[in-house]
Amino acid sequence: MLVSLHTPYVDTCAADLSLALGGPERPALHVRDLTLPGDVRLRLRLLGASHQVVLAEPGGAAALTETVACLPGRPPHLPGALHDEAGGYRFTASVLRPADGELHTRIAGLRADLADDPYALVGVFPGDPDAVTALAVRTDLPHGSVGWRTWHAYPQTNELVLTETVVALR
């Protein structure tokens, strides 16, 4: 699902992002609720130039809230990898600085690939078609796990933040 947002893009960069697990749902510009096989529910939330995913397992209890954002009162830190084997949570992040013109090409391709994806949410901010935050649920994982990928494009600093999360269901 591709949505044109009416809220101005948050002027930030990849270095301002942090990862938070748990915590409340933050104010969102757009939300997409999905129900996956096995009654697993995901809420994809666009938060300005950031995202939040809320995972609820069968029975409705929130099992996980993941937020990648500029969080008040929290120093910026986006780990390259975080693995909690006991909790079944795996997160990876990378920051790319594409060559001249490559960010535009990558974002155009991403928008085209995810525009009609029933398990994706793409927010395009006013003023720059490359100012995008996108989330897509992975449908290629083995039974008993759920995952998602995100893209945060910062054209003003020529940065593209990629994250990937996989959670083992209980």
127: helix, coil or strand? coil
Splitting the chain (170 residues) into consecutive groups of 10 residues, what average pLDDT does each group show?
50 73 89 90 89 84 86 85 93 94 95 94 88 93 92 92 93
Amino acid (1-letter code) at residue 116 = D
Residue type, 167: V
The structure's pTM equals: 0.89
Strand 132-138 relative to strand 62-69: parallel, antiparallel, unpaired?
unpaired
DSSP helix/strand/coil, 69: strand
Cα–Cα dist 126/39, whole Å:
35
In three-state secondary structure terms, 139 is coil
Looking at residue 6, what is its pLDDT?
A: 45
Q: Which of 151, 165, 159 is nearest to 120 (CA)?
A: 151
Strand 18-21 to 132-138 pairing: unpaired
* Per-residue confidence (pLDDT) for residue 15, from 0 to 100: 65
* Pairwise CA distance, residues 93 & 108, whole Å: 21
